[in-house]
Structure 1
Amino acid sequence: MSEAVKPKENKNQPLNENPEETVLNHEPEQEISSDDNNESENIPEEDAVAEAIVPEKEEIDYNAVIDDLNDKILRTAAEMQNAKRRAEQDIQKARDYSIEAFARDMLGVMDNLHRTTESISQEDAAKDEKLKLIIDGIDITKKEMENVFERNKIKCINPVGEKFDHNFHQAMSQIEDAEKDSGTIVNVMQTGYVIKDRLIRPALVVTVK
């Protein structure tokens, strides 16, 4: 009989010491990390948060914007006009009442001129030529001062026969008079003065009870 042919040993082939184990040549499958899973799961949540934070773009009503701007322009123009008017009024008041303090000081001078002419009778002036000249000079001075007062809108208050008005009069005493109504002014002890509508001195008066 012929002998069985033995296979040749491949000296270059490594020996498998553990023939029961088989070596797999394909690469192992890649494991998916939990971080990647979490990241993919969080993407929809982040999108939802972004949508909640960023509001939807609203449609602009340009007509309403224009109306609002026009209203603001009109209001600003009105405020500027009012400010201009107030400034003009302040300037006019400053002009009208700038001499108030000076006028108040001159009232005493006017009072003395009136007292002087009232204290000298016409008969005494007629008897003495020099005295008459003095009285005439005082009358001229008094008349000139009255003209100056009038040019500066300073008016005398001499309210005999009028009703008492606490805005312009100061009651000094009262008398009984059945023929006149209560509150009627029967005598003026001292004339009052105003600059336009502003009182600078009240008239001192006597009224009926």
Structure 2
Amino acid sequence: MEEQDKHSTSATQEEEKADGQTVKEAEADETIEIIDSNEGNDTADKNEQVSELQSKVDALQKEKDELQQRVLRIQAEFDNYKKRTLKEKEADRKYKSQDLIQELLPALDNFERALQVEKTDENAGLIDGITMVYNQVKEAIVSQGVEEIDTVGEEFDPNLHHAVMQVEDEEKSSNTIVEELQKGYKLKDRVIRPAMVKVNK
């Protein structure tokens, strides 16, 4: 009887032990599932974070590229502005006397008309004085780079000459200037007044 009780107790203990192991195994399996689930969630979260960070990096890269292009455009515009300003300053220096010279040209024309008067004993002193002033004014404008435009005998050039009359002269070539009606002037390489001329057809 006692042996049966011992045997029964032993069997019960083994069953409880087996049941305990089964519970532990089930708990272990559940824990593993939770860990796997958490790892899956962590991976998904990490992927989402990586995706967000990549989006931010792409946005920053795009913004950087746009800013770089803008800087390059501004630099190019500034370089062009400097070149344009330098050219304008050079032109100002080169042609700084143009306005004054253009104001003096009518006076030179009048001096030349006055000098066409026939010189006599009575007006010799006056003519000499006018000649002296005329030469001084002419030397002053020549020192600033002014030169007269060639006319008579030259081929007509619309950039240098202004034709106001035409004549027919078989002894002279066509499109040749036969007479100068008013002197023309250049300031260095710029025409400040074209010469008024008579041209052969």
TM-score by length of 2: 0.64
SS at match of 1:204: strand
Q: Pick from 125, 129, 137 the counterpart of residue 129 of structure 2.
A: 137
Aligned mates of 1:41, 1:158 — CA distance in 2 = 96
1:59-90 per-position Cα deviation (integer Å, ceiling 9, x unaligned)? xxxxxxxxxxxxxxxxx9xxx8xx68983x54
Aligned ranges for residues 134-173 of structure 1 at < 5 Å?
A: 134-173=126-165
Aligned mates of 2:106, 2:187 — CA distance in 1 = 16
Q: Find the structure with the greater CA-based Rg.
A: 1
- Number of residue pairs the alignment of both structures matches: 156
The residue type paired with residue 103 of structure 1 is I
TM-score by length of 1: 0.62
Aligned mates of 2:37, 2:179 — CA distance in 1 = 107
1:18-62 per-position Cα deviation (integer Å, ceiling 9, x unaligned)? xx9x98364732151544333445678889997xx99xxxxxxxx
Aligned ranges for residues 55-204 of structure 1 at < 5 Å?
A: 87=86, 90-118=88-116, 120-122=117-119, 125-126=120-121, 128=122, 131-204=123-196
Aligned mates of 1:194, 1:147 — CA distance in 2 = 14
Cα distance 1:45–1:201, how it changes in 2: closer, same or farther (>3 A)? same
Aligned mates of 2:34, 2:173 — CA distance in 1 = 108
After superposition, the CA RMSD in angstroms is: 3.7
Aligned mates of 1:40, 1:155 — CA distance in 2 = 93
1:160-197 per-position Cα deviation (integer Å, ceiling 9, x unaligned)? 11000111100001000101111100011100011101
- Post-superposition shift, 1:134? 0.7
**1:158/1:188 contact within 8 Å kept:** no
- 5+ long unaligned stretches in structure 1: 1-6, 8-19, 55-75
Identity of aligned residues (%): 28
- Post-superposition shift, 1:150? 1.2
- 5+ long unaligned stretches in structure 2: 3-11, 55-74
Please name the residue that 1:32 is paired with.
Answer: 30
SS at match of 2:16: coil
